[in-house]
Amino acid sequence: MGRYIVRRLLWVVFVLFVITLITFLIFFVMPPTDPAINFAGRQPTTELVAEVRHQFGLDKPLVVQIGLFYKRIFFGDEYGWPGMGFSFVTRSALKPIILGRLSVTMQLALGAAMMWVLLGIPTGILSALRPRSIFDRLAMGFALIGVSAPVFFLGPLFLYLFWYKLRLAPGSGYYSIGQYGLGTWASHFIMPWIVLALLYAAFYARMTRANLIETMGQDYIRTARAKGLPERRVVFKHGLRASLTPVVTMFGLDLGALLGGAFITETVFNLPGIGAYAIKSVASGDLYAILDVTIIAGFFITFANLVVDVVYAFLDPRVRYS
Amino acid sequence: MSVEATQRAAAPLWETREPLVRLRGVKKYFPITRGIIFQKRVGNVHAVDGVDLDVFPGETVGLVGETGCGKSTLARVTMRLYDATDGTIEFEGEDITNLSGRALRERRRHMQMIFQDPFASLNPRKTVGSIIGAPYRLHGTVPRNRVKPEVQHLMELVGLNPEHYNRYPHEFSGGQRQRIGVARSLALHPKLIVCDEPVSALDVSIQAQILNLLEDLQEEFNLTYLFIAHDLSVVKHVSDRVAVMYLGKIVEMAPGDTLYKNPKHPYTGALLSAVPIPDPDLAEHKRRIILEGDVPSPIDPPSGCRFHPRCPNAQLPRCKDEEPVLRPFHPGQIAACHYPLEDRAVIDTGSS
Amino acid sequence: MPEPLLEVRDLKVHFPTEDGLVKAVDGVSFTLQPGETLGVVGESGSGKSVTFLTVMGLVTTDQAVIEGEVLFRGQDLLKLPKDEMRNIRGSKISMIFQDPMTSLHPFYKVGYQIAEAIRTHQQVSKHEAHDQAVEMLRKVGIPKPEERASQYPHEFSGGMRQRAMIGMALSLNPDMLVADEPTTALDVTVQAQILDLIDRLKAEFNASVVVITHDLGVVAEHCDDIQVMYAGKIVEFGNRRDIYYGPHHPYTWGLLGSISRLDSTSKERLQPIKGLPPSLIFVPPGCAFHPRCPYAFDRCRTDVPELLPVDGHHASACHLSLADKERIFQEEVMVRR
């Protein structure tokens, strides 16, 4: 198992290096126009461009540039660690902005994740244990809707129904817990959490159901029953344990991707998360901000993959020996 | 004794004929790799570890052995589905060991294979007609408009209803699917058919049907069979000569009756005694040789005679230090053993 | 005659499916005495497995329509509430299955799985259960049982896994062990070891054994009584000498003629049974075997034959007269052997 983890870690380091390199190539080498101009924002003046060039060391040879780029990212720059650079559009260091945005996305993602796990997986389990029953049909029917209805449809629908018409929920926007207290913070997150969670809950319900049904048909379940084990133990200790492994790994990957920015939800509900920030940066031509978001998203997904692989090996002993 | 002489000793009936297939020193190793970043080869699975075998035209050679003995690998190496790690494979006198591409495809027309699992070896998305007719399309031996009648003729030959030409595999039973596999292998009128456990997955009464079918087809088309199975009774029944394999090597080869009446290699004796006999009285007279432990792994075979750790006849140090070579015993029989079994049948009823 | 351990009376197990009612078991009656080994022979679709899955309570009225009685030590298992059946299952009647590769849970250690069985039926501590599990592994001939108990199933070979399964099944000293195709997935030398082990342990644990198989050789060597099943019914029942030296049913003759025997001279042709096994939804009327039977006559197409005694407890379900059966057996079947 140890060797397995070490191998995965080394691989992750390698992937991070490659992501960084490719990002560098995309932003600094590939564009047909001078990157200094690109980074200078919408209205580049000659002085601005020169400032950019100097700051990013774009006048230095390529190899040095790459070296500096790596150094900035992994060891930090003059604005702190990790090195997120400077935006020439907003004229400020990017690190505090991005970290702030990241925090909002995390609140959104983690809250929704808890919801979709608590909603989707038990639904899937109950459906699998009573296939073709009324519950199963209803649950899978809802799941079908959840899978088909995108956030940009459900979101405004919810806002219209629950905020505008029924006055049950507060409107969009982010109200930090520190400033506004638990109640306000939570009430503004409820709808975005639900809307985001519904989609994933639907997927997870279907996947859990399918996995569990397949697992319950396996020979070792028959053996467990033949031993005289109580059915609850057969289902949970034997059946679920085996069928949840792919669900757990899926969860890791989904969460990792979501942390890179749930931009539709953030936009619809006006939450200042990193996804919305990415869109804003694209619109305003803030190239370094986009670069930062790209790298962050890449790193999150890579780490999510690592965690998922390790957890999988922990859950399934057969994997450890490969 | 030279390899050639040994092989001739194992096949006295065919002394004057040339073998259809000639294997010499065939080895097939599968690498085992380990390493954190760069995978390096730390060992090999010695699936086939030095096999000499002649298969003469028109005969059925049975290959029998347990898991890890290498019989399936040997069959696939013979068919060039795997590349041999070492040794030569000759087909009709021609060295095909290193053939590839078009030349190999040409030779492949003459050797076909029937697989074990009638459920897995047929493409579920293709109709039966398409499956059986595929060889024609691949090799262009039959013009397009003649494919269907040829296929239907084959279907009749193997006992299938030609009107089922457009049905899919799942609409057939296991035995019928195996017949489809047989028909497919006959399409190109091959000289050699390798049957890899063709009846193991079938019910007993259906097994008998398929075995009889194979027998009839052999006579009609003058086929040569290499028949692989783990069921010694079945192998003995269909084969003219039987080769017993253990850990990648042939340990004994003889005509079926000789093998049964006078096995020389203790492993053969153990195999024969392990086969359950459907006859209670005979079963009581069986000379029981029950082996200890499991079949060892072909990754690190024992030194000297590979069977020595489990052999009831083994005597150290010779069996551990010196690997025995195949040598002749009774007519048509060769075995590799330093302390072979005495002349006695496994089922000793006192009469012979 | 002592009271039988198990008495099955007219058991019927019918599965409703989309294509129709699958009559997997259709009127099966037999007894199992304490200390005997019963062989149940049949091909796929004969109902041999479903019969015992129903005895074990692994096939329930949730999935199938079940009729008849299953008397274990006089108690009808079919009428027992599920909880009580669970107590019996695994501790009084145990079952081992065909494929040891897939019959053990891949995520839990072998020792744990055996201990789990023990703790389900006995009030013992985890530690004690683990010790008992190790002891069972030792009893079934697995070397270094303490080490092995902490390993996962994929670290065991096929033969060892089957031994572990047997150990698990015997860990609570059951009265009856049902082995469903216990050796089909194993190498032949390992088969011999496993069957030997079952024989030995049967004596040690004083259990009755049921061996379900399609292999007539296995049954000849290890079973006292044999029942031959076809299309959900028992077509012949007898001790092993009856079945092998004096069979009284065309299906049994067909089976015996289909198998290759080591002691036959090689080039004798096999005598297969013509045709295919029947559908269990559209079972042929009258005797289910009649479409494939070379001796079928009019009555066979309309009347279902009953299992009638031949002599002693040898019984067969066939309309042919005793005299005819003797004659056919002597003139045709024996001659071919």
Q: What is the ipTM of this complex?
A: 0.87
pLDDT at A322: 54
Residue B187 CA, distance from chain mean position: 21
Q: What percent of chain A has pLDDT over 90?
A: 17
Q: What percent of chain C has pLDDT over 90?
A: 61
Is the confidence at residue C185, as pLDDT, over 70? yes
- β-sheet bridge partners, residue C238: C226
Interface list for chain A against chain B, based on CB atoms closer than 8 Å? 3, 6-7, 10
Nearest-angstrom CA–CA distance, A286 and A275: 14
pLDDT at B248: 92
B37/A10 CB distance under 8 A: yes
Summary mean pLDDT of chain C = 90
Q: How large is the C-alpha radius of gyration of chain A?
A: 24
Give per-residue pLDDT as tens, B46-88: 999 999 999 999 899 999 998 888 898 999 999 999 999 999 9
Q: How large is the C-alpha radius of gyration of chain B?
A: 21
CA distance to A87, A95, C137, C175, C225, per residue, from C201 (Å): 79, 72, 12, 12, 19
pLDDT at A155: 86
Terminal-residue alpha carbon distance, chain A:
9
Summary mean pLDDT of chain B = 87
- β-sheet bridge partners, residue A92: A87
C260/B211 CB distance under 8 A: yes
Q: How many CB atoms lie within 10 A of CB B97?
A: 18
Give per-residue pLDDT as tens, C221-278: 999 999 999 999 999 999 999 899 889 999 999 998 888 888 777 567 888 888 888 8
Give the gap in angstroms from C-alpha C43 to the nearest C-alpha of chain B. Answer: 6
Closest to C106 in 3D by CA, of A64, A220, A69: A220
For an interface test with B, the pick among C225, C263, C269, C334 (most B C-beta atoms closer than 10 Å) comes out as C263
SS3 at position C124:
coil
Contacts of C218 (CB under 8 A, 6+ apart): B276, C39, C183, C191, C195, C211
Is the confidence at residue C55, as pLDDT, over 50? yes
Cα atoms found within 13 Å of the Cα of residue B149, Cβ hemisphere only:
5
pLDDT at C335: 60
User: Do residues B49 and B23 lie in contact, with contact meaning Cβ atoms separated by under 8 Å?
Assistant: no
Contacts of A206 (CB under 8 A, 6+ apart): A124, A140, A143, A147
Give per-residue pLDDT as tens, B183-206: 999 888 899 999 998 888 788 888
Q: How many CB atoms lie within 10 A of CB C90?
A: 27
Average pLDDT over every residue of A87-114: 85
Cα atoms found within 13 Å of the Cα of residue B55, Cβ hemisphere only:
29
For an interface test with C, the pick among B117, B119, B179, B205 (most C C-beta atoms closer than 10 Å) comes out as B205
Measured between beta carbons, the chain B residues lying within 8 angstroms of A7 are 36-37
B277/C261 CB distance under 8 A: yes
C116/A220 CB distance under 8 A: no
Terminal-residue alpha carbon distance, chain B:
31
Angle at which helix B144-157 crosses helix B174-186, to 10 degrees, equals 130
Nearest-angstrom CA–CA distance, B331 and B333: 5
> Angle CA(B332)–CA(B336)–CA(B342) in degrees, nearest 5?
75
Q: A65-74, B15-24, C15-24: which has the highest mean pLDDT?
A: C15-24
Among A157-166, A230-239, B83-92, name the one with the lowest average pLDDT. Answer: A157-166
Structure tokens at C125: 């501590």
Give the gap in angstroms from C-alpha B352 to the nearest C-alpha of chain C. Answer: 11
| Secondary structure, 3-state, B163-203 | HHHHCCHHHCCHHHHHHHHHHHHHCCCCCEEEEECCCCCCC
- β-sheet bridge partners, residue B34: B40
- Would you tell me which residues 135-174 of chain C have a C-beta closer than 8 angstroms to some C-beta of chain B? 157-160
pLDDT at A321: 64
Sheet holding B86-91, edge to edge: B40-55, B21-34, B86-91, B94-95
| Predicted model pTM | 0.83
Give the gap in angstroms from C-alpha B237 to the nearest C-alpha of chain A. Answer: 34
DSSP label at A80?
B
Nearest-angstrom CA–CA distance, C223 and C237: 12
Structure tokens at C109: 């250690």
pLDDT at C175: 93
Residue B351 pLDDT level (bands cut at 50, 70, 90): very low
Is the confidence at residue C337, as pLDDT, over 60? no
CA distance to B74, B345, C38, per residue, from B285 (Å): 35, 10, 22
Is the confidence at residue B38, as pLDDT, over 70? no
Q: Please indicate whether residue C91 or residue A87 has the higher confidence score (pLDDT).
A: C91
**C102 vs A218, A316, A321: nearest CB:** A218
Give the gap in angstroms from C-alpha C70 to the nearest C-alpha of chain B. Answer: 29
Structure tokens at B61: 């050679």
C266/B236 CB distance under 8 A: yes
Is the confidence at residue B112, as pLDDT, over 60? yes
Nearest-angstrom CA–CA distance, C195 and B330: 33
A220 Cβ under 8 Å from any chain C Cβ: yes
- β-sheet bridge partners, residue A77: A80
Is the confidence at residue A88, as pLDDT, over 80? no
DSSP label at C89?
B
Is the confidence at residue B352, as pLDDT, over 50? no
State residue B224 phi and psi, 5-degree precision.
-110, 130
Give the gap in angstroms from C-alpha B62 to the nearest C-alpha of chain A. Answer: 34
pLDDT at C188: 86
Summary mean pLDDT of chain A = 85
Among A35-39, A221-225, B188-192, C287-291, name the one with the lowest average pLDDT. Answer: A35-39
**C215 vs B209, B232, B276: nearest CB:** B276
C192/B278 CB distance under 8 A: no
Measured between beta carbons, the chain A residues lying within 8 angstroms of B36 are 3, 6-7, 10
Residue A226 pLDDT level (bands cut at 50, 70, 90): very high
Nearest-angstrom CA–CA distance, C230 and B180: 26
Contacts of B124 (CB under 8 A, 6+ apart): B168, B169, B170
SS3 at position B348:
coil
Is the confidence at residue C118, as pLDDT, over 60? yes
Contacts of C311 (CB under 8 A, 6+ apart): none
**B276 vs C221, C266, C274: nearest CB:** C221
What are the E-state strand segments in chain B?
21-34, 40-55, 60-64, 86-91, 94-95, 111-114, 192-196, 224-229, 241-246, 249-255, 327-328, 334-335
Amino acid at B308: H
**A228 vs C91, C107, C165: nearest CB:** C91
| In the block, residue with structure tokens 């699958």 | C22
**C121 vs A223, A225, A228: nearest CB:** A228
Q: Please indicate whether residue A167 or residue A41 has the higher confidence score (pLDDT).
A: A167
DSSP label at C304?
P
Handedness of CA B293, B299, B303, B306 (dihedral sign): positive
User: Do residues A268 and A108 lie in contact, with contact meaning Cβ atoms separated by under 8 Å?
Assistant: no
Give the gap in angstroms from C-alpha B208 to the nearest C-alpha of chain C. Answer: 5
Strands B327-328 and B111-114: unpaired
Is the confidence at residue B264, as pLDDT, over 90? yes
For an interface test with A, the pick among C92, C105, C154 (most A C-beta atoms closer than 10 Å) comes out as C105
- The number of residues in chain A equals 322
Nearest-angstrom CA–CA distance, C202 and C180: 16
Strands B241-246 and B60-64: parallel
Nearest-angstrom CA–CA distance, A17 and A73: 10
Q: What percent of chain B has pLDDT over 90?
A: 34
Give per-residue pLDDT as tens, B269-299: 999 888 888 888 888 888 777 787 777 788 8
Nearest-angstrom CA–CA distance, A116 and A112: 6
C33 Cβ under 8 Å from any chain A Cβ: no
Measured between beta carbons, the chain A residues lying within 8 angstroms of C52 are none
Give per-residue pLDDT as tens, B304-313: 899 998 888 8
